[in-house]
Amino acid sequence: MKVDVKQQETLERFFEEEKTWFANNIFYKYCGYLLIGVSLIMAVFPQKAMEGDTFWSCLPVYMLYIYGTCMLCYRYTIYREQNGPAKSVSELLKYLPVSELQYRIFKFKKFIKPCFFLTLFILAAKIGISLLAYHSITVWDVLVPVIFYLLLPMILFFPARKRVHSEKFLRLL
């Protein structure tokens, strides 16, 4: 999978040029932060505090994080003009000189960047709180943030997999 630097720069300029594609951009941006915030509150709890069933019941909250980061990236995948339905950016770029793979790489980089920094934040907070509360850390204090907040999103949204918003989903927006 070769990254075309020139095309990545072109896509960066392209998306920078028009920042208000998605009429509800502000809503979806704040909604994304809200979901990530809720997930982070649970994420920084030390693993010792979440042993047993509590851990598995918190799992859906972790998944809110993935949905929240997806919402932050909607501006690169969906656009909606004032008088129309939501449309996929892939459709717009279909007859333009943009490689589908490079576009997917671009989206992936935009998605994984916040995941990376959030993972670092969660690791630091989790380890810090665990040391303060229990004077020790477990291996799960490190593995859970890395697996759920970095590796799982990377696997789900790896650019080799083609993901296209369905018409049903676009109509919901």
Placement of tokens 């501006």 in the chain: 75
E-state strands within the chain: 78-79, 87-88
19 scored as a contact of another protein (CB under 8 A): no
Which residue, 25 or 99, has its beta carbon nearer to another protein? 99
Structure tokens that stand for 141 in this block: 């204090």
CB-wise, 15 or 134, nearer to another protein? Answer: 15
Asked if 14 interacts with another protein (CB under 8 A), we say yes
Residue 92 touches another protein, criterion: CB under 8 A: yes
The SS3 assignment for 163 reads: coil
Q: CA angle 83-35-154, nearest 5°?
A: 95
Is 160 near another protein (CB under 8 A)?
Answer: no
Least distance to another protein from the beta carbon of 126, Å?
Answer: 42
Angle at 84 between CA 83 and CA 89, to 5 degrees: 130
**Contacting residue, 1, 52, 56, 82, with another protein by CB under 8 A:** 82
Q: Which residues bind another protein (CB under 8 A)?
A: 4, 7, 10, 13-14, 17-18, 81-84, 91-100, 102
